[in-house]
Structure 1
Amino acid sequence: MTKHRFSIFAALTGLSLLAAAPALAQSAAVEAALASGTVGEQADGYLGFARPPSPALKAEVDAINIKRRQGYTQVAQAKNVPIEAFAVSVGCNTLAKLRPGRAYNVGGVWAVKGDAPIALPSQCGG
């Protein structure tokens, strides 16, 4: 494992604490959108839209993504790794653990997670 990859992996532990609070604080509207497949996880570490959202839902998801970016920035700077690389490592980890029935985007294509593991993109080492 390279030093860069190890640093990103080690930083995931720190991010799990940062990511837990916003995830628990998601509104019922965001949870419903995740459950219905309107909103899903992306390999870049951010939420995206599989279907056009309402303006209110878009605003909520944008706010979540801003908080994610702040968390990624904080941990990446502390670990001296690029923010985008850290965000992708979190996105890959999130996709690997995604619950069945949830929407996700890999390579610009939206799909719904079934029982089989997601074929992760090359940036995830897949």
Structure 2
Amino acid sequence: MTRTFFLLAAGAAIALTTGLALTAPARAQSGAVAGAIASGAVGEQSDGYLGIAGSVSADIRSEVDSINIKRRAAYTDLAGKRGVTVADVAAATGCQTLANRVKSGQAYRIGTGAWQTKGAGAIALPSYCATAG
């Protein structure tokens, strides 16, 4: 099923179709980072970036930073094509990621709130996330 997310900001809606916002390099991660995500030490954030949710090695922290740099580059490219801000693209992608990619047992964070662990149900998305289809 394809789901389009709309970021509701400043009186405008920015539409992103699931899976198009991040290129493969921006999503790519080593087995070590994948393990840190699975264990809840690294998690997805509503701002579209990975975050450190627990204790990790300097190598994991460095790789998370590298992934976030690639994500920002992808967001910047898409923002230029859509005529919107990088922050808006990142947040819309965060909506997609929280809804579709975070698995049960993985860590996530909404805004600057506390890190949470996804249970069996859906994540309560921020109010600026709206979906269609």
What range describes the TM-score normalised by the shorter chain of this pair? Answer: 0.7 to 0.9
Relative distance call for 1:12 and 1:81 in structure 2 (3 A) is: farther
Report sequence identity in percent.
Answer: 45
Tell me which residue corresponds to 2:68: 65
* Coordinate RMSD, CA, aligned: 2.3
Relative distance call for 1:110 and 1:10 in structure 2 (3 A) is: closer
Contact kept in structure 2, 1:11 and 1:75, CA below 8 Å: no
Which of 21, 32, 36 does residue 35 from structure 2 map onto? Answer: 32
Tell me which residue corresponds to 2:104: 100
TM-score by length of 1: 0.85
Question: Going by fraction, where is strand more abundant, 1 or 2?
Answer: 2
Tell me which residue corresponds to 1:120: 125
Relative distance call for 1:73 and 1:100 in structure 2 (3 A) is: same
Report the more deviating stretch, 108-117 or 60-69.
Answer: 108-117
TM-score by length of 2: 0.80
TM-superposed CA distance for 1:111, in Å, is 0.8
Matches within 5 A, 1:45-56: 45-56=48-59
Relative distance call for 1:111 and 1:119 in structure 2 (3 A) is: same
Unmatched 5+ stretches in structure 2? 1-5
Aligned residues between the structures:
121
Contact kept in structure 2, 1:14 and 1:75, CA below 8 Å: no
Structure with larger RCO (C-alpha < 8 A, sep 6+): 2
TM-superposed CA distance for 1:53, in Å, is 2.0
Counterpart residue identity of residue 80, structure 2: Q
